[in-house]
Chains A and B, each alone.
Chain A
Amino acid sequence: MSKLKKGVVYLLFAIPVVTQLYPLLWLVLYSLKTNEEIMDGSFFSFPKSIQWHNYTEAYTSGSYLKYLTNSVFVTGVTMIFVILLASMAAYAISRFRWKYGNLVMTIFLMGMMIPMQATLLPLMIIFKNIHVLNTHWSLILPYVAFSTPIAVFILTGFMKAIPHEIEESAFIDGANIYRIFRSIILPVSVPPVMTVCILTFINIWNEYILAATFISSEKLKTLPFGVYTFVSQYSVNYGNIGAFLVMGALPVILIYFFLSNQITKGMVAGAVKG
């Protein structure tokens, strides 16, 4: 390939790096500025002096730690359930010989088309009757339920492609199906599971409508709710808002960069050959 051509291609790669990373930089700069610097609205400028106090103020007035703990708990439990339930279902759909496999898959796929906002009120009524309103379960249950379609979808695609010789030989060795699932299928499914983790994490970590509706106790509220309230309320200090946004995004960014190499492996692994 000619040098020029190569140059053009690399330029093509470089442009999205700037446009896609810019928001993070923007946000960090924003969070370190004074109100006047922010109000002047320039697109790219460094703060004259760094306003660390924006962070201390956001930290103290925003109940950050409490929201963070709740979010970590809710998200963590949700992910464990999603992975466990979805991989079991995906295993059954992709590897068992039974009549209703495709039907069940279709039912799951239909779930991707259901907008969460439309289920707000019915969920409220259900939760009222099973007495989980204003507990973390009122978030975990719907989060798990709404995350399963895409999780089952990705995992099924992967599991279909696992060579079945592995299972057969294990069977011959006398292992039962649960053991095969636990010690063979799950370990090899790590890449798509990571993908599911990241996608689930992103969705749940930023969800606030259910969080605002089903949780009333201050001590149970989650971070996206906190971020949303903090941002849309009538605080005059933009720097604080920026700092709170950075703190709110930090966990998701950290998790993402730890897992990001996995996500590219697992996203659609197996679908090509499937």
Chain B
Amino acid sequence: MKVLKVPARTIAVFIVPCLLLYVCLVFVPILVSLYTGLLKWDGLTSAHFIGFGNFKEMFFHDPVFWPSVKRTLLYSVASMLEIPLCLGMAILLNRNLKKGNTLVSIYFTPVILSVVIIGQLWKTIYNPASMGGMLNGVLISLGLDSWTHNWLTEPNIAMFALYVVSLWQYFGYHLLIQYTGVQNIPDELYEAAKIDGADGFKADRYITLPLIVPIFKISIILAFIGSLQAFDLVMVMTAGGPAHATDVISTHMYNSSFMSFKYGYGSAIATFLVVVCLVFTAFINTIFNKLERKYT
């Protein structure tokens, strides 16, 4: 694949500016953060080195931590489950429409809007009926009064209400990725398959799915990382409340660092988050590499 043999100096010219900036401003800060995770530090007065003390507290004594991990993982599972649906939709679009691009662009719209707008909108949807909430209003008009809820404030429901918003917002994002992937599969392949008697879903099974695997992987990884870092939406809609019922790892980290003045502890949570990201991405990569090898 890589044909060009160029002098080291040229490689440096191409790679160093980007890498340097990136390492200094993304990598070094996170290394600093890894280190502060080993400190007992309020961010203001002098810090004490306590080794893995923060991690001990995090894993064994913090009542908020594990539930927030669980919610975060559920979040990412939910967003990953969305992707097969997006793929199905992408296949249908590709098969039925010549100009699917316009539709895909429309589906993508929520992605470009700021979370502030999204948050305001969905709050008016989720509001209690007494405040004119649309969802409850619809349920009541259907005679389903018993189904109404305070969607954002009932501890058992609030988190699911947030998942829905996120799935809605990123539907277009993943559809777009899948759709471009599907479009890039050469038509000749399908034509050839048709001659062999494979059409419609059968063709998908033997052509689309194997060829889409790398794209699918990209979507899965992006969905996973995105939901692990979900922050803005939770802050805008519930701020982690009521009583931590919607806290996720990133909001817990933020609150610990900036509200509870436990900066070292917050950094330890950040460390955990980064490690989980790395491990899972490696895991997903391995699985998909196996899949790819199996099909090609």
A and B touch in the complex (CB under 8 A): yes
Asked whether, in the complex, the Cβ of B176 is within 8 Å of the Cβ of A43, the reply is no
- Note all chain B residues with C-beta closer than 8 A to A245: 114, 116-117, 120
**In the complex, which residues of chain A have a beta carbon less than 8 angstroms from the beta carbon of B51?**
none
| Contact call A17/B11, Cβ cutoff below 8 A | no
A167 CA to B1 CA, complexed, in Å:
13
Query: Are A17 and B270 touching (Cβ within 8 A)?
Result: no
B74 at the interface (CB under 8 A from A): no
Chain A stretch 8-54: residues in CB contact (< 8 A) with chain B? 9-10, 12-13, 16-17, 19-21, 23-24, 26-27, 40-44
Which of the segments A61-69, A107-115, A214-222 contacts the partner chain?
A: A107-115
Q: Are the C-beta atoms of A177 and B15 separated by less than 8 Å?
A: no
Complex: A13 Cα to B171 Cα, angstroms:
13
**Contact between A16 and B19, CB atoms less than 8 A apart:** no
Number of interface residues of B (CB under 8 A): 94
Which residues of A have CB within 8 Å of B110? 20, 23
Distance in angstroms between the alpha carbons of A27 and B123 in the assembled complex: 13
User: B205-231 CB contact bits vs A (8 Å, 1 = yes)?
Assistant: 000000110110010000001001101
A125 to B25, CA, bound (A): 11
Q: Is the interface of A mostly helix, strand, loop or mixed?
A: helix
B184 touches A12 (CB 8 A): no
Which of B3, B25, B133, B254 has the largest count of A CB atoms less than 10 A from its CB?
B25
Give the residue name and chain of the B residue nearest to A232 (CB): B116
Query: A218 CB to closest chain B CB, in angstroms?
Result: 20
Q: How far is B218's CA from A269's CA once the two chains are assembled, in angstroms?
A: 12
Q: Smallest distance from the beta carbon of B177 to chain A beta carbons, Å? A: 6
> Contact check: which of B4, B89, B114, B125 meets A95 at CB < 8 Å?
B4
Q: Report the nearest B residue to A143, measured CB to CB.
A: B25
For chain A, residues 199 to 219, give those with C-beta under 8 angstroms from any C-beta of chain B: 202, 205-206
Q: What does the 1/0 interface line of A248-272 toward B look like (CB < 8 Å)?
A: 1100110011001101111111111
Question: Is the beta-carbon distance between A265 and B22 smaller than 8 angstroms?
Answer: no
Q: Is A228 an interface residue (CB 8 A)?
A: yes
**Structural contact, B121 and A23, CB atoms closer than 8 A:** yes
Contact residues in A for B131 (Cβ distance below 8 Å): 41
Interface residues of B (CB under 8 A from A): 1-6, 8, 10-11, 13-15, 17-19, 21-30, 32-33, 36, 43, 89, 92-93, 96-97, 101, 103-118, 120-121, 124-125, 127, 131-134, 137, 168, 171-172, 176-177, 179-181, 183-185, 211-212, 214-215, 218, 225, 228-229, 231, 250, 253-254, 257, 263, 266-267, 270, 273-274, 277-278, 281
Give me 16 A-to-B residue pairs in the complex whose CB atoms sit less than 8 angstroms apart, sorted by A's number. A13-B92, A16-B107, A41-B133, A96-B10, A98-B2, A115-B250, A117-B253, A121-B36, A177-B10, A245-B114, A245-B120, A248-B114, A249-B112, A252-B113, A260-B105, A264-B183
